[in-house]
Amino acid sequence: MRLKQKHSRPLLHIAVAMAGLMVMTPSTQARTELPLPRFVSLKASEAHVRRGPGLHYPILWTYVRSRIPLEIYQEFGNWRRIRGADAKTGWIYGALLSGERTATVAPWMTRAVPLHSGRSSQSGLVARLEPGVLLQDLSCDGTWCSVALTRHDMSGYIEQSSLWGVYPGEKLKNYAHNACPRCANGLACA
């Protein structure tokens, strides 16, 4: 009898460990099958960013502003590993994100960036935007982006290289509510 107990306990520990691994495996959870990396925006007005993909991981910081652009570069179940414009990274729950595309004037810019009335640096000047200004209603042709500052009822064109939230050379169509086409069909984009 003692011999069985002696050998059955290690097997029990192995079985418990294996069961725990099966629960934690991302392949057992939903996948978006969307490309990585990709830009999204923060849907929630307050969202905790954690050290790892789960509520048991410590909170690193909290975003307190909705619609800011974030880059997803890894997924684990319903959690998304994100990078912000400040290059800080962490994990955020996917339901707090939106497929809506927004951008900010790049924080690495050392001076205000011109917002033009047309797709040319020779077109009229609408405003000068400081780094970090949030922009919406993006439509980009790979060089210039049509943008809006909805809080100030202002719109115009800005050079794509001056933005965080859109990739260099990326062409982006302004969909209804500024979301990706999958979202329009009720599918998750974040």
Over the stretch 8-39, which tens digit does the pLDDT of each residue have? Answer: 555 444 444 444 444 444 444 556 789 999 99
With 70 as the cut, is the pLDDT of residue 6 above it? no
Calculate mean pLDDT across residues 66-84: 97
The predicted-structure confidence for 120-137, as pLDDT tens digits, reads as follows: 999 999 999 999 999 999
Tokens of 78: 């319903």
Calculate the CA 91 to chain-centre distance: 10
Which of 166, 154, 34 lies closest to 104, judged by CA? 166
pTM of the model: 0.78
Calculate mean pLDDT across residues 96-114: 95
Rounded to whole angstroms, the Cα distance separating 88 from 15 reads 38
Rounded to whole angstroms, the Cα distance separating 79 from 101 reads 19
Rounded to whole angstroms, the Cα distance separating 121 from 79 reads 41
Q: For all residues of the chain together, what is the average pLDDT?
A: 84
Calculate mean pLDDT across residues 163-180: 79
